[in-house]
Amino acid sequence: MIAYRLHYEPTNLKAVELLRSGSFGPIKMIEATDTQNTYAPNIRLSNETAGGPLGDVGIYCLNACRYLTGEEPIEVSGMLHQPPNSDRFHDVAESVVFTLKFPSGAMAQCLCGFGTGRSDRFRVHCDNGYVELDPAFRYNGQKLRTQQGDTTYEFEIPPKNHFASEMDHFSECILNAKPCTSPGEEGLRDIEIITRIKEAIREKKTVRLA
């Protein structure tokens, strides 16, 4: 099992439930953002320790797009910004933008970076309104909002300890010999897609996935 705590976090789960219900219609576009200011000394700013925003905070955006759509992307593209002569970003990108296209036609634009104030959110634009979580990825404080027509609604969902929830699930799987919600393959798939995003950035082209 991979410790993807947001697979057990109630507001993220509610967002998925709302999208699966069909009341919002097909997903058309997703905006996902995860940014923060990161300063040295920090392993996130070193290539030697596999740093950079894409694999650190960008993976939250990527994984969210996958569990929100319930699909695997078929095309990826991307670009990055690495300031010249920067002491902080001489080794890794400051910011990365990447796009995903899914079999249904849904598209996602994701922003991640280490050079801006804290922001983590997603908004899922559907045929009949949107579903938004802001903040979405941090350890607490998630706020779920929806809009359909002129009606906006904010959900009141009791918080849970993400780490306790995932450990309870892990224990239950062991005790009852059942498959887990976030198997290791889930993380492997994200890394495979990130590798292709890096290829798209490096070669300045859209990369098609199997």
Range of the domain at 124: 5-208
DSSP 168: H
pTM for the structure as a whole: 0.95
Residues 103-118 have pLDDT tens digits of: 999 999 999 999 999 9
When divided into structural domains, the chain yields a total of 1
**Average pLDDT of every residue of the chain:** 96
User: Which tens digits make up the pLDDT trace of 162-179?
Assistant: 999 999 999 999 999 999
CB 44 within 8 A of CB 57: no
Number of H helices and number of E strands within the chain? 5, 9
34-80 pLDDT tens trace = 999 999 999 999 999 999 999 999 999 999 999 999 999 999 999 99
Each residue's pLDDT tens digit, 189-210: 999 999 999 999 999 999 999 8
**Predicted confidence (pLDDT) at residue 121 exceeds the cutoff of 90:** yes
> Can you give the CATH number for the domain in which 146 is found?
3.30.360.10
Strand order in the sheet with 75-81: 151-154, 144-148, 129-133, 115-126, 27-37, 107-113, 95-101, 75-81, 207-208
